[in-house]
Structure 1
Amino acid sequence: MASSASQQATQVGDSREQEEAHIKGCLRDSEALKVDGTDLFRSQKWSEALATYRAALGRLPKRVIPPPNLDPDSESDDENGERQRTEPTNDELLEPLPLSDVELELAKARAILNANIGACHVKMNEHSDAVKACTEALVDDPRYVKALQRRATSNENLSTWASLSSAQEDYQTLLKILPPDSPQIRPTKRALDSVKPRAEAAQKRETAEMLDKLKGLGNSILGNFGLSTDNFKFEPNGQGGYSMNFSK
């Protein structure tokens, strides 16, 4: 019994070492391509740099969501006295198991490549794609300053209510994680102050556009009865709501 357990432990250890050796090989291949991509980026060959960064990312193992670290007390005895694992509740789901050093290195490499891909999209004015790439980078490294900055900048360029609100959130996050003496604090505060009124204006504009569309739809239906939305007036009722009045 003890010998069998020892053999299983040895096999698990060997498998882990083989997996880490494979990851390290992938990291070396990816790093070589990343260097090529950076040379192309510095030469302002955005499309070629983008393709090379993507190739480098493709050399890395995809992100794997680690299994949750389940509370051992979630096991119970069945009618035969045998231990059975019950379905875990939210309270029984603990923090995911910590990543090994090589897994952390892998996550960092993915984050950098996705952020670099985002930088290429920014240069090509493909801001929606830049947002997606930087979001991928932030999954691996939520405190990645460059990815937060690029995503915020691209969201500002998209200029929708949702994107400007997201830019606000990223600037607020940056102010929390940047060191107090960072030279980036002041421009980040300026950017946050600048984006706030733009987000409010976009909200009003998009709300008005939505109401106009709803009004057009309502008129197309009410027109069958000789009515229009102008026949219905909404007035504040003094209690935080509205009352509707009909007039011909």
Structure 2
Amino acid sequence: MSAPAGRVALVTGAGRGIGRAIALRLAQDGADVAVNYRRDADAAAKVVAAIEAMGRRARAYPASVDSFDACAALVEAVAADFGAIDILVNNAGIASRGQSVADTDPGELERVVRTHALAPHYLSKLVIPWMRQRPRGDIVMISSVATLYHAANGAPYNMGKAAVEALAQTLAKEERVHGIRVNIVAPGLTVTDMGKRLAMATRGVADIHELDAQSPFGRVSTPEDVAAAVAFFVSADADYVTGQKINLHGGG
């Protein structure tokens, strides 16, 4: 798989979990990486240090991406520091509280949908002018296999992820003429802090790896599995690929 050498990637929510794995994989493949985070500055600094140890450029940027003004400042800062933005990975996310529609607080609904759907719209809008100046642009939305099932007691999360997939499909058609590819990676249960909490809440297990034996291929998915799918979408091997989705659930 051809590496994105010399390209600049902005990864949201990149201090931990899936975002961290994506940032490290893109750097491993040759990209310079802007590491966005919301609260954990120490975790983001460690990601930056790991990327710099690979010989790539990296910098951490605090921003809550559910604010358009914060997104605008983020993109402006990244473009000023790196001189370009070639890859955007909309990864930042939050969990909903697992309540029915009747019991969901309107404030929770707004926060979850804003983070999963409005933030990717804001950032895509803001990076497109930069990508149009480059030989190629890539936007990858991190969704969820939740959109395959729309399970009960998860409307805010289901709605947010369904909306970001709609955004991706629309944007792929709009920006193809400008050489920008837009694709979706939809993980299932993954070994992250959020995944561990979800496993405890929905499966009643104290350790997520208790689910390995009953999972496809004998293990729960890892952040590196998600990063590999993102790496494919932004590679030269996916030059003819846009508007596509990879469901990372092991065929389950």
Whether the TM-score (by the shorter chain) exceeds 0.5 is: no
Greater percentage in helix: 1
| TM-score grouping bracket, smaller chain normalisation | under 0.3
Answer 1 or 2: which has greater strand percent. 2
